[in-house]
């Protein structure tokens, strides 16, 4: 079980580290490029969350699993 949660934990740690880094220490992103990077980061988090579900849950209840992943990513964003 820990091996299934490890990718999600690593992605969450990287996102937490980058979100707590002051803007002056990061390269500037122009023309909405930061929004694209934000979408990629949360897409990666969603995929890593899917890896955390047991294979039986991913195969049987795709709609329920997808909704749970979306809620998890949404509530992680609110933190």
| Banded pLDDT at 65 (limits 50, 70, 90) | confident
Mean per-residue pLDDT for 55-63?
A: 71
Q: How many domains does the chain have?
A: 1
| CB count in 10 Å sphere of residue 43 | 11
Backbone angles phi, psi at 22, to 5 degrees: -60, 145
The parent domain of residue 43 ranges over 2-21+29-78
Task: Report yes or no: 72 and 49 within 8 Å, Cβ to Cβ.
Answer: yes
- The string of pLDDT tens digits covering residues 39-57 is 888 888 888 888 887 777 6
The C-alpha atoms of residue 15 and residue 17 are separated, in whole angstroms, by 5
Identify the pLDDT of residue 24. 66
- In terms of pTM, does the model score above 0.75? no
Mean per-residue pLDDT for 61-70?
A: 78
């Amino acid at each position: 079980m820990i091996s299934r949660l490890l990718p999600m934990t690593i992605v969450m740690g990287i996102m937490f580290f980058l979100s707590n880094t002051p803007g002056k220490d990061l390269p500037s992103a122009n023309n909405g490029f930061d929004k694209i990077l934000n979408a990629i980061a949360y897409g990666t988090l969603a995929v890593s969350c899917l890896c955390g579900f047991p294979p039986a849950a991913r195969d049987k209840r795709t709609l329920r699993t997808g909704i749970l992943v979306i809620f998890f990513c949404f509530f992680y964003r609110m933190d």
